């Protein structure tokens, strides 16, 4: 429309100019002439006719070349228009595919997305959404094919493709593949929140607590997890590492790991308990005996009492004296009385062991206390009382088993 307006405007200006020139030449007696010679031919005309001929010729040539240009550009315009039609269809297909995927129509979504992916302005979205749809319907091979095409579109360093690939592998329990992809992405962008979060989840799923330990500073620094979540993760990670360190049966490795744990984690009661238990388990209880006793005084805990009595010490008498000091504050504690009985047995003080164990079962009967009391009575030669103690222990154990079974049945 603009071109037509410009053309008509120029034509009007040209006609007006010709009219003015004619009016100006009319003021002269001789309007002038133009003579053009070509070989034996010659053309003679007035100036006004020549000027009008030039204007008309110019417009005819202009129209001719415009039409010629339009004809030359016609194939490309038709091609471009075809591309626009295909692009619009691909956009509609993308929207339709996303809706079908959200509604759970996986196969339908997959087909329409792949059909129009090559003509889309965002083929990645087509392939990634189709990959999710394929996995949702269990077509793992198709999923891998679409992920491969997405990688070809974007290159190996595209984080969006890598994250989707890792997420799908993780949800399909393909932990090795997920971890391989995430480690590669982490080397590209070590502070990317989504990469760190998926790495965190993957390390937890595979039980790679050493990897998770190295990841915790980045999770905290990049605010991937809240402060409380980081503390819980630290507690779980170092607890697992301490438990794993027992497998090496080396007190030095346990101590080395303990020394590397941050102080705010070391101070947690649960972590301390695991550390003491690990050292006692590998036969290095004597190294932590004094520290364990101080912890019990500071934070009274019956689990720590049991650990204290399990230490294979070279001075059982000193161990007994330490434990007896706690009677001043906790004289009615059945667990304390039981572990005192256990330590007295190690010290070969059977009379005192019997007194502590008898008082313990009178406060809170336990299978362990009855077992030890029976051993003491048998050692003293009182077989009838020993048998009675063993019987009571067995009855208590049986009742506990029955209670557990009943609880399981009720849950069902």
Query: Which residues have C-beta within 8 Å of that of residue 408, sequence separation ≥ 6?
Result: none
Cα(303)–Cα(213) distance, integer angstroms: 27
Residue 242 in contact with residue 258, Cβ under 8 Å? yes
Cα dist. 360→17, 321, 334, 335, 389 in Å? 125, 18, 5, 7, 13
Please tell me whether residues 339 and 407 are part of one structural domain: yes
Per-residue confidence in pLDDT tens, the chain, 412 aa: 666 676 666 667 766 766 676 666 666 666 666 677 777 787 777 766 777 777 777 777 777 777 777 777 767 766 666 555 555 566 666 666 666 666 677 677 777 777 766 666 667 777 777 787 888 777 778 888 878 888 777 665 578 888 888 888 888 888 899 998 899 888 888 888 899 999 999 999 999 999 999 999 998 888 888 888 988 999 999 999 999 999 888 999 999 999 999 998 998 888 999 999 999 999 999 999 999 999 999 999 999 999 999 998 888 999 999 999 999 999 999 999 999 999 999 999 999 999 999 999 999 999 999 999 999 999 888 889 999 999 998 988 888 776 666 555 555 4
In a domain, 189, yes or no: no
In a domain, 131, yes or no: no
Look at residue 284 and give its three-state secondary structure: coil
Domain that holds residue 280: 237-314
Report if residue 178 sits inside a domain.
no
| Of 124, 70, 65, residue with least CA distance to 94 | 124
Q: Could you tell me if 336 and 412 lie in one domain?
A: yes
d(CA 218, CA 196): 8
Length of the chain in terms of residues written:
412
Pick from 61, 68, 72, 30: nearest CA to 48: 30
* Final residue belonging to a domain, choices 285, 314, 343: 314
Number of domain units in the chain: 2
Question: Does one domain contain both 351 and 304?
Answer: no
Q: Is residue 166 part of a domain?
A: no
In a domain, 280, yes or no: yes
Residue 237 phi, psi dihedral angles, 5° rounding: -60, -50
Residue 169 domain flag: no
Residues 161 and 151: beta-carbon distance below 8 Å:
yes
Asked if residue 74 is part of any domain, the answer here is no
**Cα separation, 285 vs 346, whole angstroms:** 16
Within a domain: 241: yes
In 222-301, which residue ranges form alpha helices assigned H by DSSP? 227-245, 251-260, 263-266, 269-281, 285-298
Is residue 359 domain-shared with residue 390, that is, in the same domain? yes
268 — phi, psi (to 5°)?
-70, 135
Q: Please, how many CA atoms are within 13 Å of residue 99, restricted to the half-sphere of its CB?
A: 7
| pTM for the whole structure | 0.67
d(CA 164, CA 134): 13
């Amino acid at each position: 429309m603009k071109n037509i307006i410009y053309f008509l405007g120029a034509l009007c200006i040209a006609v007006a100019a010709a009219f003015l020139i004619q009016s100006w030449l009319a003021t002269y007696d001789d309007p002038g002439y133009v003579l053009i010679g070509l070989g034996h031919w010659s053309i003679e005309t007035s100036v006004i006719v020549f000027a009008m001929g030039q204007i008309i010729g110019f417009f005819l040539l202009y129209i001719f070349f415009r039409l010629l240009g339009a004809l030359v550009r016609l194939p490309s315009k038709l091609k471009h228009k075809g591309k626009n039609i295909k692009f619009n269809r691909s956009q509609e297909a993308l929207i339709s595919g996303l809706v079908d995927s959200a509604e759970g129509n996986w196969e339908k979504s997959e087909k329409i997305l792949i059909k129009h992916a090559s003509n889309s302005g965002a083929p990645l979205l087509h392939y990634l959404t189709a990959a999710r749809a394929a996995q949702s319907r269990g077509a793992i091979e198709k999923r891998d094919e679409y992920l491969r095409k997405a990688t070809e579109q974007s290159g190996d360093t595209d984080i969006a493709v890598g994250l989707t690939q890792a997420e799908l592998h993780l949800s399909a329990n393909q932990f090795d593949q997920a971890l391989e992809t995430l480690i590669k992405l982490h080397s590209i962008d070590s502070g990317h929140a989504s990469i760190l979060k998926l790495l965190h989840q993957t390390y937890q799923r595979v039980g790679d607590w050493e990897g998770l330990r190295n990841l915790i500073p980045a999770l905290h620094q990049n605010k991937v997890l809240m402060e409380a979540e980081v503390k819980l993760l630290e507690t779980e990670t170092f607890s697992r590492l301490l438990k794993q360190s027992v497998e090496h049966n080396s007190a030095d490795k346990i101590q080395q790991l303990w020394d590397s744990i941050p102080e705010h984690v070391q101070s947690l009661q649960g972590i301390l308990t695991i550390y003491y238990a690990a050292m006692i388990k590998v036969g290095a209880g004597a190294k932590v005996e004094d520290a364990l006793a101080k912890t019990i005084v500071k934070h009274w805990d019956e689990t720590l009492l049991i650990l204290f009595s399990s230490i294979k010490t070279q001075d059982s008498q000193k161990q007994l004296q330490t434990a007896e000091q706690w009677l001043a504050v906790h004289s009615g504690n059945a667990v304390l009385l039981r572990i005192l009985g256990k330590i007295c047995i190690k010290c070969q003080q059977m009379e005192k062991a019997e007194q502590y164990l008898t008082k313990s079962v009178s406060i809170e009967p336990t299978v362990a206390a009855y077992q030890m009391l029976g051993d003491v009575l048998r050692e003293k030669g009182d077989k009838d009382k020993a048998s009675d103690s063993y019987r009571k222990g067995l009855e208590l154990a049986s009742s506990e088993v029955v209670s557990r079974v009943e609880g399981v049945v009720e849950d069902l």
